Structure 1
Amino acid sequence: MSLIEVTGQDAAKLLQGQLTCNINDLSASQASITGFCNAKGRVISTLLVVKSPASFYLILPADLLDTVLKKLRMYVLRADAKLQDQTGSMHILGITGLTPEFDAPIDRFAVGQMPLTTIKLPDAPRHLVLGAPDQIDEFIGLLRSQYDFESGCLDEWRYQDISTALPWFDINQSEQHIPQMLGIDQLGGISFSKGCYTGQEIVARSHYLGKVKRALFIAECQPSASGLVNGCKVLDGISQQSMGCVLANAVWSGINRALVVLQIVDGLPKNLILDDDYRTPITIISDQ
């Protein structure tokens, strides 16, 4: 993940006009997932927005950092707002399994200080912790000295993201889906009452007219020799018709788990396969 800091008197106004969530609902104790859309309502990137006393932090996949910075800066114009890549000066630590003694936040996307900024991720005992590199190193040292904590790997963390339907994706899936197709509305990341933002007309029309034709699902398949590629088509195994695509995937402990965006208009077929060299069967284990 990478981190963008947005500062200036017009920072909130800038973000309110670009992101799907209601920036005015954020506080020192509540963050939000959100979508940054193009004019056609397609999500350029999903973001986690955290409010600090003097700025806003945007957490997003590192693969989309340059794209988001470039496109957001196009909307600054004369506003008193500045966007800076703070990935090098603010580190992001992921922790699984914090016990109650840590006094960490427990509600979805709630924010606490323990003593660093700590955000609760949904549907699992997982948190993100933000801090300067020396603060993060000190915090890790504390965990290891006083508690039974071990270092994990990025593949396992990504696997857990997918298992809880967090719709992170890379640049290959940028500007392909409207927010509802990624389940951002189910995670509380879309406001339908806050007013205009880029792509709002398409997002609102899909909501009020009920015309969302695709949805997000969690799926599993056997790891293939060639590896599963994000954006790979998912086919009806009988008709060979395209049903959607792979949004993101991760392999952990021999299991390939993926987020897939699939058509829902006529129901899902029972036999789904990947459009790869092996026509790998893929099984839906949960909707988002």
Structure 2
Amino acid sequence: MNTFWEFLRTQYPESSHTAGQYWTNGSNPSQALGDCNISALGQYGFLAIEGPDSSKFLQGQTTCDWRNIDTEHAALGSYCNIKGRMVMSFIAGMRSSEAVLLRLRADTAESACSTLAKYIVFSKAKIRDATAEFIAIGVFGKRAKEHIQQHTGIAPAGKMMQVSDGQIVVVQMDDSAERFECWVPTDAAIDLWSKLSSQAIAVDSSYWEAQNIAAGLGEVCANTQDSFIPQMLNYQVIGGLSFNKGCYTGQEVVARMQYRGKLKRRLYRARIANGNDAFTHLSGAELFSGEDSQSIGNLVSAVSQNGETELLAVLTEDAVASNNIHFANDTAMLEILELPYPIPNKE
């Protein structure tokens, strides 16, 4: 445990990390949100890639186009195996023209770093697992941007845009400028948290995941590594997949699916009314349709609040049409909800 988490433990004695590394401050989980809220996003880790060939190396390995990523523009992306299955998903940002940060699920950082390290030896760049070096702080609400600018002196100009002072990176996650991630060196995180928390409500990081679910943003964790091609998480729709950038690992499979194949499974948003029953299913859990014993999909992420669970799952189109989807040994049925973005007819 680094000094930042030790600091939070002293500030919030009942705080802990739950399954999936979500941070909870130990307060009432149904607490009201304010016009500015902050959360320590313990579910996230970082890879640092540094050197003059950083972007060039990642251009040949990942699904996003690094010609469009710089110190002002962030991006959603993923790294796939040769079969086109996602090993990690990430938000990419840059502290400088030669210093990249990939914010990813913490439980995928070690394996993703080890895999990429095998290929970076031929580049003028180095990679390391920087999870212990940086903290992701989520800031959201109507006054989020105002407070970030007040305490850091920087703020992005639009969705998936970023700013950096060379140390802190701030990424805007939405169109309305009410949701931001601050990637902060550990030795500066305590100071920033102290300043922000004087004007914001500290909430569990599951609130951040709930907003990812509402935004239709699915991410790869350890339980779902090597399970999905990017189109299954709708990355071709939400900006995590480029088809004009050239070759990258898994590109042939991903491109073939886009232009010649039929996508049989994709990401859906759903809800379960589970009352007082705890939601116990982990990411990757299989889903079923009616009495059929063959799996028709997998859970991507879920958050339970006030007797309901909202979730993202990769499901077959036919199963969704049947309106009879459930987890194994569970009678609660999924209610399919609308995503906040349209899916082209081809998908």
TM-score scaled by structure 2?
A: 0.76
Is residue 2:64 matched to residue 1:12? no
| 1:255 aligned partner, one-letter code | E
CA contact (8 A) 2:71 2:162 kept: yes
CA contact (8 A) 2:120 2:127 kept: no
Q: CA deviation at 1:107?
A: 2.5
Partners of 2:334 and 2:288 lie apart in 1 by: 10
What is the DSSP-based 3-state SS (H/G/I as helix, E as strand, rest coil) of the residue aligned with 1:268? helix
Q: Which moved more, 1:82-91 or 1:57-66?
A: 82-91
Alignment partner, residue 79 of structure 2 = 36
Q: What are the residue-to-residue correspondences of 1:103-114 with 2, within 5 Å?
A: 104-105=155-156, 107-113=158-164
| 1:26 aligned partner, one-letter code | I
Alignment partner, residue 259 of structure 2 = 208
Alignment partner, residue 142 of structure 1 = 195
Pair 233,97 (structure 1): closer, same or farther in 2 beyond 3 Å = same
CA contact (8 A) 2:279 2:304 kept: no
CA contact (8 A) 2:62 2:79 kept: yes
Partners of 2:187 and 2:162 lie apart in 1 by: 21
| 1:284 aligned partner, one-letter code | I
Is residue 2:322 matched to residue 1:269? yes
Please, which of 133, 136, 139 is the counterpart of residue 95 of structure 1? 139
Q: Which moved more, 1:11-20 or 1:266-275?
A: 266-275
CA contact (8 A) 1:169 1:248 kept: no
Q: CA deviation at 1:106?
A: 5.2
CA RMSD in angstroms comes to: 2.2
What is the DSSP-based 3-state SS (H/G/I as helix, E as strand, rest coil) of the residue aligned with 1:196? coil
Alignment partner, residue 218 of structure 2 = 167
Please, which of 130, 144, 148 is the counterpart of residue 86 of structure 1? 130
Partners of 2:73 and 2:108 lie apart in 1 by: 24
Please, which of 313, 330, 343 is the counterpart of residue 278 of structure 1? 330
Partners of 2:170 and 2:112 lie apart in 1 by: 24
Q: What are the residue-to-residue correspondences of 1:37-56 with 2, within 5 Å?
A: 37-53=80-96, 54-56=98-100
Partners of 2:193 and 2:320 lie apart in 1 by: 47
More helix by share: 2
Q: CA deviation at 1:123?
A: 5.8
CA contact (8 A) 1:238 1:271 kept: no
CA contact (8 A) 2:232 2:263 kept: yes
Q: CA deviation at 1:155?
A: 2.0
Count of residues paired in the alignment: 285
What is the DSSP-based 3-state SS (H/G/I as helix, E as strand, rest coil) of the residue aligned with 1:235? strand
CA contact (8 A) 1:159 1:252 kept: no
Alignment partner, residue 152 of structure 1 = 203
Q: Which moved more, 1:235-244 or 1:12-21?
A: 235-244
Partners of 1:93 and 1:266 lie apart in 2 by: 37
Is residue 2:107 matched to residue 1:63? yes
